[in-house]
Structure 1
């Protein structure tokens, strides 16, 4: 006997009734009446020529033949559910963009702008990884990254995003700030550094200050932590313009005397040169490349 498509409603009703051992509960699940479920089951029994349920005063119970069919129907429904979930998950994966970037840039530059992206593209999901190490773009890894450097990474396509500049900042409550009138005076303050490629020595040299005794009281591996230490009045920090802007805007940090010096590195959007970007990733790249020209 071959399964016919017109049997499917009856099989669905039977599978639910077998699982609940109750026609009324199966009807509630299927949004049918109990008599409709009973009709489907009797039709199936007539087509198969066997009794699938024993009817008695307390309800129904499966016969041996009914148990065999119930097990098979349950397994088949589970397989179909698994495929449907997989197909739905594959669709969701198409709309997911995995991004790797610096914690400081994500926290202070990217995240404040993301409401614009989600408003324009509500169906795209973002996974953002802020590991400090350079992530490998293996299969199953990130789709793209935002990196700070010279723009040359083997195997990666690099699109220029924005340049940066360095200048000193400090909390307006920092002790001794009232005595800072020119760049050379900053060396008298407790200084905070991070692990960037350009530090206080580079900045003082670029501004023409010679012989300054640099007192780096605190050093942090993460730029965000260095900025927060300065916000809390621990010292002056050499800030990157792109990530210091929120602190300057709310007044928790103020610029100190001295010029901005160009950063040696700049920000780039990168992705594997050999990999074809999915539409969602391309949409994010197109959007993020527009952001440096947008007001904060």
Structure 2
């Protein structure tokens, strides 16, 4: 049998590869000979994936709730995949930073535009029943979302706005800043000042991991890439707009979709229904209260003061409840 030059070249490269690691090419070729062809369902572990939905009630709409949140976490993982790549590429080119920001913005665009699955895709009566079986679990406990925030900006930007200036002036440590991270305020019982069980569970499982990540991302965040490119004179208008879009996607569009959903399912004046995790969703979700802004240097003072208001006016007018 005659072998083409291309095949001979591939065999020689494979031989060199396995020889360099002390492996036997013939053994690997024998393994390939006996192996079955790869299938789609095995490659993506389809059977496992479809077995991961385990409702706690027999209500028809609960699987919708579960699957949407699982899809959300996969999009978060995709976003972190890009954040981590840039963190490990300190000299990333302008083109690479733009490309990865475009990917991340597409992920959040998909999430935001798909939220009607939650807002319109479940019966309110069913939701209000099965949600009671979820207490104290809450989307508040999404660690991947917190990791996206940590990877996006300097850690001081995640501190509650009431303590941000004070901690910045004293050059506080990551541990000190973590005690005043903005999201904790959303899971405090207002009447007593005590942490909700939801927050205590989250801190027990993830605090050390998040603190470690914050330390390892010092000088490696998305914002550090912008500052580096700006210092090199390469930060153009397109890059600025991509950063602004990411800021809006994570800190306005996404949380306000949750707010819209909460209004749809939980708002009933004068006494709104409490969230499953005991979070104060009325104050925690609206960006204008927390001023969650990754990149304030890219926004005008007026834009910062009006943070999130235009979205609310546009999307929530129809949900005003008398």
Q: In which range does the TM-score fall when normalised by the shorter chain?
A: under 0.3
TM-score by length of structure 1 reads: 0.23
Higher helix share: 2
TM-score by length of structure 2 reads: 0.21
